[in-house]
Amino acid sequence: MIKNCHFCQQKIEEIDEQDTELLRKFLSGQAKILSPRRTGVCAKHQRKVAKAIKKARLMGLLPFIVK
């Protein structure tokens, strides 16, 4: 099952690390970053999503783990 990349379809180049609503869609229930197979994001945007999630975690906007 191949999904189309959400960011390529919307022509989004930069992913804002402060947009937690969007970034939460790429996290599992345990706050782990989901694989591109699961989310349907292309490799280029998967790297950008991962980087944005990690930045958001350091800024305290997203949790590292869920208790």
d(CA 17, CA 49): 8
> Tens of pLDDT along 36-60?
999 999 999 999 999 999 999 999 9
Q: Would you say residue 22 lies in a domain?
A: yes
Q: Quote the pLDDT of residue 31.
A: 93
pTM equals 0.89
pLDDT computed for residue 3 by the predictor: 67
CATH number of the CATH domain containing 23: 4.10.640.10
Asked whether residue 27 is assigned to any structural domain, the reply reads yes
Query: Does the pLDDT of residue 2 top 80, yes or no?
Result: no
Q: Indicate the Cα dihedral angle 41, 47, 50, 52, nearest 10°.
A: -110
Query: Could you tell me if residue 12 is inside a domain?
Result: yes
In a domain? residue 34: yes
Token pair, residue 60, equals 């305290």
* Mean pLDDT across the chain: 92
| 1/12: higher pLDDT | 12
Question: Is 66 part of any domain?
Answer: no
Domain count, the chain: 1
Domain range for 12: 6-59
